[in-house]
């Protein structure tokens, strides 16, 4: 008995405390989310496990992008931009709506969108009317229209640049495409606003007339009336995520992010309306004073929701290509050179065969190269003028890569020399006298390395001679 009691006491002594177990669990969870999870590929799991891992990766990547890109500060900058351009933007919107004959419908939609701000919006509409009258009746009507359109295009360009940063796109739309795409967007917005208003009026009409005879349908119609704003907001956000970035965004990631962002936006709007009512009831004077700060808060938090949804759309579409992301950030120079030569060789050999050039996604998926590493190396090769970016006429979103110089000049040593010489060497370190020996040692070691490569052409790698 004494021996059994002693063994039990030993087991209890070895068993860690609850605090230690919780700490160990948290450490394992953090390691899994930050490192282990990103080493699990689609070939390792399937079914619900694959969906769960992909969802966890998407959320983690979205949060990381949201913080690393400092999107809350960008939301503040966009709030400032939209306030400065609000009257010109509204002038263009109402001017287009007036041309189609439904200016009053658009005004009513705006009033319904900003409940409690009816008086302020009426004042803004007065500003807009005077703004349009000055443009139409002034001697410099052409300059006025140009300034008006430039202000609106500049606002939309700032929004596009933010989405391009989320998607890691270095090249924005050309100015000509900005003008055409943004004007098309401005033509669509009033139509969508009227359509959404008409849908709500249609459902309410059914509720007020037909439901007297079909009382059992009342709960269904009430549910539809509650869901319609969420559906409209979801499609608006999905449209922003799919069409605004200067890249190809797949429909499903954009729709999922749009539904989540649109739902969050509608819930926040209900909270905002409740807050305005509460402030107005508490103190009429304070409520009047709080209208502007509350509006600014509403605009900024709306942008925060919108930008996080953009980061989520990017994460959902690209999470599977961020495998081994932590390893990529700490890759050795030797292994990076190996990947660089590999990518360059694949591009050269495909060009030599006369086949369709590679894209970054194809290189990543076919040869299991992490997408961030592949895009970084392709951007470096493009900056070194070793590869050229190619666009097809029927596909303006996808970038293809092919050699930028004669493939009979592209040897391993030549490529490594160009990589070695990339960047500035113009510093004040004395390499002529004080550190001359060290500089010559580096140059000599590099020359030896290039000679050892024997100027092997990339197109001949793997070919027995």
Q: Following CA atoms 65, 67, 68, 70 in sequence, which dihedral angle do they give, to the nearest 10 degrees? A: 110
**3-class SS at 38?**
helix
165 vs 172: CA distance, rounded Å:
10
Cβ–Cβ under 8 Å, residues 264 and 303: no
Cα separation values, 167 from 32, 246, 307, 439, Å: 25, 9, 11, 41
Say which DSSP state 343 is in. H
**3-class SS at 17?**
coil
CA neighbor of 381 nearest in space, from 335, 426, 416, 333: 416
217 vs 209: CA distance, rounded Å:
12
Mean pLDDT, 10 residues at a time, the chain of 465 residues: 56 66 76 68 68 82 87 90 80 74 73 63 74 58 67 84 86 78 76 64 60 58 72 86 86 92 86 64 54 76 92 86 64 88 93 90 83 85 90 70 91 86 79 85 77 71 63
Domains and CATH numbers, the chain: 18-67 (no CATH), 72-320 (no CATH), 325-460 (1.10.10.10)
Residue 465 is predicted with a pLDDT of: 46
Q: Output b/e per residue, 82-108; b: 16+ Cβ within 10 A.
A: beebebbbbbbbbbbbeeeebbebbbe
DSSP string, 170-233: -----HHHHHHHHHHHHHHHHHHHHHHHHHHHHHHHHHHHGGGT-GGGHHHHHHHHHHHHHHHH
Please tell me whether the overall predicted TM-score, pTM, comes out greater than 0.75 for this model.
no
- Structure tokens given for 250: 């797949």
Residue 34 is predicted with a pLDDT of: 67
Say which DSSP state 368 is in. T
Cβ–Cβ under 8 Å, residues 307 and 264: no
Provide Rg for the chain, Cα atoms: 30
Cβ–Cβ under 8 Å, residues 291 and 275: no
Q: Output b/e per residue, 242-255; b: 16+ Cβ within 10 A.
A: bebbbbebeeebbb
Look-up of token digits 């110089």: 405
Residue 139 is predicted with a pLDDT of: 45
Cβ–Cβ under 8 Å, residues 263 and 234: yes
194 vs 200: CA distance, rounded Å:
10
Name 401's bridge partners: 358, 389
Residue 347 is predicted with a pLDDT of: 94
Cβ–Cβ under 8 Å, residues 401 and 389: yes
Cβ–Cβ under 8 Å, residues 276 and 294: yes
Residue 197 is predicted with a pLDDT of: 61
Task: Count Cβ atoms within 10 A of the Cβ of residue 411 and give its class: 0-12 exposed, 13-18 middle, 19 or more buried.
Answer: buried
**3-class SS at 457?**
strand
159 vs 85: CA distance, rounded Å:
12
246 vs 238: CA distance, rounded Å:
15
Three-class DSSP labels, 380-412: HHHHCCCEEEEEECCEEEEEEEEECCCCCCCEH
Residue 129: which H helix or E strand, with range? helix 118-137
Dihedral-angle region of residue 427 (phi above 0 means left; psi in -120 to 50 means alpha; beta otherwise): beta
Look-up of token digits 């701000």: 117
243 vs 224: CA distance, rounded Å:
28
Cβ–Cβ under 8 Å, residues 320 and 54: yes
């Amino acid at each position: 008995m004494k021996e059994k009691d002693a063994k039990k006491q030993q087991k209890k002594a070895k068993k860690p405390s609850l605090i230690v177990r919780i700490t160990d669990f948290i450490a394992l969870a953090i390691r899994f989310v930050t490192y282990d999870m990103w080493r699990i590929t689609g070939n390792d799991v399937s079914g619900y496990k694959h969906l769960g891992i992909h969802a966890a990766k998407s959320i983690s990547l979205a949060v990381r992008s949201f913080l690393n890109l400092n999107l809350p500060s960008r939301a503040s900058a966009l709030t400032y931009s939209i306030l400065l351009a609000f009257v010109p933007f509204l002038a263009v919107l109402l001017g287009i709506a007036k041309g189609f004959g439904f200016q009053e419908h658009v005004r009513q939609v705006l009033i319904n969108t900003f409940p409690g701000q009816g008086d302020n919006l009426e004042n803004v509409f007065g500003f807009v009317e005077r703004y349009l009258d000055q443009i139409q009746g002034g001697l410099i009507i052409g300059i006025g229209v140009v300034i008006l359109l430039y202000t609106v295009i500049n606002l939309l360009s700032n929004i596009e640049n933010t989405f391009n940063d989320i998607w890691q796109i270095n090249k924005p739309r050309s100015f000509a495409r900005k003008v055409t795409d943004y004007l098309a967007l401005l033509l669509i917005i009033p139509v969508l606003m009227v359509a959404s208003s008409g849908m709500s009026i249609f459902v309410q009409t059914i509720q007020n007339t037909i439901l007297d005879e079909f009382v059992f349908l009342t709960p269904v119609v009430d549910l539809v009336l509650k869901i319609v704003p969420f559906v409209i907001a979801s499609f608006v956000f999905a449209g922003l995520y799919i069409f605004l970035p200067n890249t190809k965004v797949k429909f499903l990631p954009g729709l999922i992010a749009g539904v989540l962002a649109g739902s969050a936006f509608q819930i926040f709007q209900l909270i905002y309306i409740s807050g305005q009512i509460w402030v107005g009831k508490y103190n009429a004077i304070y409520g009047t004073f709080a209208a502007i700060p509350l509006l600014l808060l509403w605009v900024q938090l709306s942008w925060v929701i919108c930008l996080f949804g953009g980061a989520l759309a990017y994460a959902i579409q690209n999470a599977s290509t961020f495998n081994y992301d932590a390893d990529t950030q700490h890759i050795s120079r030797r292994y990076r050179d190996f990947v660089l030569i590999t990518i360059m060789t694949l591009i050269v050999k495909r060009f030599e065969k006369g086949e369709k050039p590679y894209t970054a996604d194809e290189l990543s998926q076919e040869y299991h190269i992490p997408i961030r590493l592949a895009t970084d190396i392709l951007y470096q090769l493009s900056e070194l003028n070793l590869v050229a970016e190619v666009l097809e006429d029927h596909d303006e979103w996808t970038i293809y890569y092919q050699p930028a110089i004669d493939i009979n000049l592209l040897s391993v040593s030549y490529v490594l020399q160009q990589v070695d010489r990339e960047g500035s060497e113009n510093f004040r370190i004395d390499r002529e006298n004080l550190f001359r020996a060290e500089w010559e040692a580096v140059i000599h070691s590099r020359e030896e390395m290039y000679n050892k490569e024997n100027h092997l052409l990339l197109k001949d790698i793997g070919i027995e001679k």
